[in-house]
Amino acid sequence: WCKKNGRNRSQRFSLELAGEAQMDLRLEQDLRQAIDQNELQVYFQPIVRGDSGEVEALEALVRWPHAVFGMINPERFVGLAEQCGMIGELDAWVMQRAAREVRELHEHGRKIRVGVNCSALNLSDPELPMRVELALRSSGLPATYLTLEITENALMGNVLQAAESLQKIRELGVKVSIDDFGTGYSSLAYLRKLPVNALKIDRSFIRELDISRQDQELTGAIIAMAHKLQLRVVAEGVESLKHVALLREQQCDLLQGFWFSRPLPMSELREWLSLYRPVDVLPPNQQAS
Ligand code: C2E
Ligand code: MG
Ligand code: MG
Ligand code: MG
């Protein structure tokens, strides 16, 4: 199998590692099957405009309801899919499904965009542009309504050489944002090398925004820098009215987090959309701005 087998670690961990490796192997096999048999699900979380509070986009987030282990978090299996060469297919599957569901939403009069996560590993996969085109064509979703959120993980090394496939995707009219901005060791390198439209500030900068002067300085600086580069900014992990007020003061373009809604299956999201009113979630004395 594909995972490192712990040769470098000391003897006393070898049993534990064998157990973990076995679990990874099991999940790897099950994931293969889950992808092939359409057992994965896509949830959607709204992204609202900082100025008006209107819903501008959704983020598609994969979910894996496992027959034995229950709902498995993407944090557990996305990395595994990356290690085992399945991430291209996984992300393509989510993109297809998300594009189709959002296209259906358009038919019901809700013209909103959708962001799908795209592992930075896929940037060096020559099939990526074709997969994006296929998702657009088979769903009928116009390219301008799709964003790829590029997510990296620390082990990836230099994926920047492969930026040309991203250029092809941009030429289709698809947008690109950098996810978890501020945490990846090469965030700034991505900014210089990739054709990017937006940054998503990682939620670790937002969590204590209301009590941390330093985090306020950081988000303010990231937003100001992004705007100088003509990029839009999304804040992730917005959990309180205080967060909303501070980020609005800093002219943050878009807000996403549990304060507005958790990620929901499309049927529940439609219900949520029909009840949603910006006036309920923005600070009362700021609404006119
Ligand atoms: P992400 O792309 O940064 O997505 C945002 C994550 O933050 C989601 O976790 C979401 O549920 C969570 N979140 C949203 N608002 C809040 C909040 O207010 N507070 C807190 N504490 N959390 C919030 P989720 O769905 O578990 O996904 C985790 C990560 O897994 C994603 O982070 C993304 O990196 C990855 N991922 C998810 N779906 C996919 C996919 O289809 N493909 C790839 N390659 N990665 C994916
Ligand atoms: Mg994301
Ligand atoms: Mg993120
Ligand atoms: Mg994140």
HSE toward the beta carbon, residue 47, CA cutoff 13 A: 22
DSSP state of 289: -
Identify which of 58, 187, 236, 260 to mutate to test ligand 1's pocket (most ligand atoms within 8 A of the CB): 236
Q: Could you tell which of 61, 78, 181, 264 is best to mutate to test the pocket of ligand 1, judged by most ligand atoms within 8 Å of the CB?
A: 61
- Predicted ipTM? 0.98
What residues form DSSP beta bridges with 198? 177, 232
Q: DSSP 3-state assignment of 152?
A: coil
Encoded tokens for 107: 């038919």
DSSP tag of 240 = S
pLDDT in tens, 257-284: 999 999 999 999 999 999 999 999 999 8
**pLDDT tens per residue across all 289 residues of the chain:** 344 444 444 444 555 666 888 888 999 999 999 999 999 999 999 999 999 999 999 999 999 999 999 999 999 999 999 999 999 999 999 999 999 999 999 999 999 999 999 999 998 889 999 999 999 999 999 999 999 999 887 667 677 666 788 899 999 999 999 999 998 766 788 888 888 999 999 999 999 999 999 999 999 999 999 999 999 999 999 999 999 999 999 999 999 999 999 999 999 999 999 999 999 999 987 655 4
